[in-house]
Chain A
Amino acid sequence: MSIHRTHQIDRDTAEQLLRGRPAGSGVPEPLAALLAAASAPAREHELAGEHAALAAFREARLDQMAGERHPSMTRTAVNRLFSLRVAVATFAATATLGGAALAASTGALPTPLSPKAPATRPAPSAPTPSASADGPGSQGASTSPDGRRSGHPSAAPASALVGLCRAWQAQPAANREKALEKPPFAPLVRAAGGEQKVPAYCATVLAGAPSKEPKKAGPSSRPTEGPRSAPSPRRPEIEE
Chain B
Amino acid sequence: MTALHRAQAGDEEAFRGLYRAVQPGLLRYLRALVGADAEDVASETWLQVARDLGSFRGEDDGFRGWVATIGRHRAMDHLRKQQRRPSAAFTIDDLPELPAGDDTAGSALDRVACDEAIAMIAALPRDQAEAVLLRVVMGLDAETAGQVLGKRAGAVRTAAYRGLRRLATRLEQAGTRGRSPR
Contacts and interface: CB of A to CB of B under 8 A. Distances in A.
B106 to A, nearest CB: 3
Contacts of B12: 54, 57-58, 61
A83 interface: no
Contacts of A145: 39
Nearest to B53: A60
B34 interface: yes
A70 interface: no
Given A17-B164, A18-B135, A163 B119 contact: yes
- Interface residues of B: mostly helix, strand, loop or mixed? helix
A37 B113 contact: yes
A238 B19 contact: no
Interface residues of B, number: 110
Given A7-B165, A191-B90, A186 B50 contact: no
Contacts of B70: 119, 122-123
A238 B121 CA distance: 26
B123 A185 contact: yes
A156 B95 contact: yes
B123 A43 contact: no
Given A42-B23, A235-B139, A179 B106 contact: no
Contacts of B25: 39, 236
Contacts of A169: 174, 179
Contacts of A7: 165, 168-169, 172
B95 A158 contact: yes
Contacts of A141: 39-40, 42-43
B122 to A, nearest CB: 4
A210 B105 contact: yes
Interface in A171-211: 171-172, 175, 179, 182-187, 190-191, 193, 210
7 contacts: A14-B164, A34-B121, A43-B110, A123-B70, A154-B37, A159-B108, A183-B35
Interface of A: 1, 4-9, 11, 14-15, 17-20, 28-31, 33-35, 37-43, 45-50, 52-54, 56-61, 63-64, 115-123, 127-128, 131, 136-138, 140-141, 144-146, 148-150, 152-164, 166-172, 175, 179, 182-187, 190-191, 193, 210, 212-215, 217-224, 234-240
Interface of B: 2-4, 7, 10, 12, 15-25, 27-28, 31-37, 39-40, 42-44, 46-57, 60, 63-64, 66, 69-70, 73-74, 76-77, 87-88, 90-92, 94-99, 104-123, 132-133, 135-137, 139, 147, 157, 160-161, 164-165, 167-176, 179-182
Given A50-B19, A215-B182, A238-B60, 7 more contacts: A118-B52, A155-B90, A169-B179, A184-B32, A193-B92, A213-B180, A239-B2
